[in-house]
Amino acid sequence: MKKFAFLFVLAVSIISCKNETKADDASSDSKTTVTDKESTLKTIEGEFLFVDGAGVIMGKNFIYGVSLNDVTEELIKQAASKQRDKFDMVPVVIRGEINPKPQGTDSWDEIVTIKEIIKVLEPKGEAPIKIETGK
């Protein structure tokens, strides 16, 4: 009788462990999906400039074109309020998705779609030098 009770408890324990493992695997799959989605977003720190309908973010080792969306429109407004002139690059920290340029377009090799604005800072250094030509 003791052997039967021991085997019964052992069997129940094994079965309940398997169910917990499946539940843990299912929850980790949903976490993986969220993590995969977030892993496509990169934090990018660089200088932003938007002139004549085209935007660019430039860092030490990269230059990305910027796709237009609602978040980009907000970044344009925030950066414009910090610019000293039209061609002043504004330091920004954003989160976005980097993709290759669309086929058949003449633009930067990689395009960033901005998903979140983290910081917009004041431009560093001296104001750009303006050169005026006389007539």
pLDDT in tens, 73-101: 999 999 999 999 888 999 999 999 999 98
- Stretches where the chain sits below pLDDT 70 are 1-39, 126-131, 135
pLDDT of 71: 97
Burial of 5 (0-12, 13-18, 19+ CB in 10 A): exposed
The whole-angstrom separation of Cα 43 and Cα 57 is 12
For tokens 């990689």, the residue is: 110
CATH number for the domain formed by residue range(s) 41-120: 2.40.50
Domain boundaries, the chain: 41-120
pLDDT of 37: 53
